[in-house]
């Protein structure tokens, strides 16, 4: 399946557009149908974090890149907002969850691999999540 990319302003109003983009892509990928809802949830949670935390009071974009090869779905979510220190991104203990604090927990439960890095030259935040189809 060819890779796909969506770039939109990082605002809450675009979260539905991102979810719809992901659903349309998954619908074209044989074997992903049964994983669609959980993958959409993980991507939505990650994009909500970009909307809430990356740009604070300034405008910015979020890029969502999707690919599916050799039974592995890969999504990369990029922004050039406030640099994130990967070591500070940790899911909370399930007993210590506050409203709005389940995103990282869900992402780590749903996806098989989650990695975060700052890429240069512009110090872009890049979250990569992978789901292997069995």
Q: Which CATH number fits the domain that encloses residue 95?
A: 3.30.565.10
How many domains is the chain partitioned into structurally? 1
Pick the most confident of 14-23, 54-63, 77-86, 98-107.
14-23
User: DSSP label at 94?
Assistant: G
CA separation for the pair 24, 10 (Å, rounded): 20
Element (H, E) at 125: strand 124-132
- pLDDT number for residue 97: 56
Strand partners, 119: 124
The percent helix, strand, coil of the chain (3-state, each to 5) is 40, 30, 30
pLDDT digits (tens, 9 = 90+) for 17-69: 999 999 999 999 999 999 999 999 999 999 999 998 898 888 999 999 999 99
Q: Is the dihedral of CA 30, 34, 40, 43 positive or negative?
A: negative
Strands 4-9 and 124-132: unpaired
- pLDDT number for residue 102: 66
pTM: 0.89
Query: How confident is the model over 125-131, as a mean pLDDT?
Result: 96
Query: How confident is the model over 76-102, as a mean pLDDT?
Result: 72
pLDDT of 73 > 80? The answer is yes
Rounded-to-10 torsion of CA 94, 98, 102, 108 = -40
- pLDDT number for residue 90: 62
Q: 100: how many CB neighbours lie within 10 A of its CB?
A: 8
Query: How confident is the model over 74-91, as a mean pLDDT?
Result: 82
Domain that holds residue 61: 4-132
Confidence of residue 95 (pLDDT cuts 50, 70, 90): low
Query: How confident is the model over 116-134, as a mean pLDDT?
Result: 87
């Amino acid at each position: 399946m060819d890779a796909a990319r969506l770039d939109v302003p990082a605002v809450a109003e675009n979260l539905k557009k991102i979810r719809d983009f992901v659903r349309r892509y998954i619908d074209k990928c044989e074997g992903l149908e049964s994983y669609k809802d959980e993958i959409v949830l993980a991507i939505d949670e990650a994009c909500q974090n970009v909307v809430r935390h990356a740009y604070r009071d300034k405008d910015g974009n979020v890029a969502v890149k999707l690919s599916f090869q050799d039974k592995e779905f890969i999504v990369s979510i990029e922004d050039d907002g406030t640099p994130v220190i990967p070591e500070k991104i940790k899911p909370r203990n399930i007993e210590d969850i506050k409203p709005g604090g389940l995103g990282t927990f869900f992402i780590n439960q749903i996806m098989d691999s989650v990695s975060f890095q700052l890429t240069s030259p512009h110090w872009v935040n890049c979250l990569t999540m992978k789901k292997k189809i069995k």
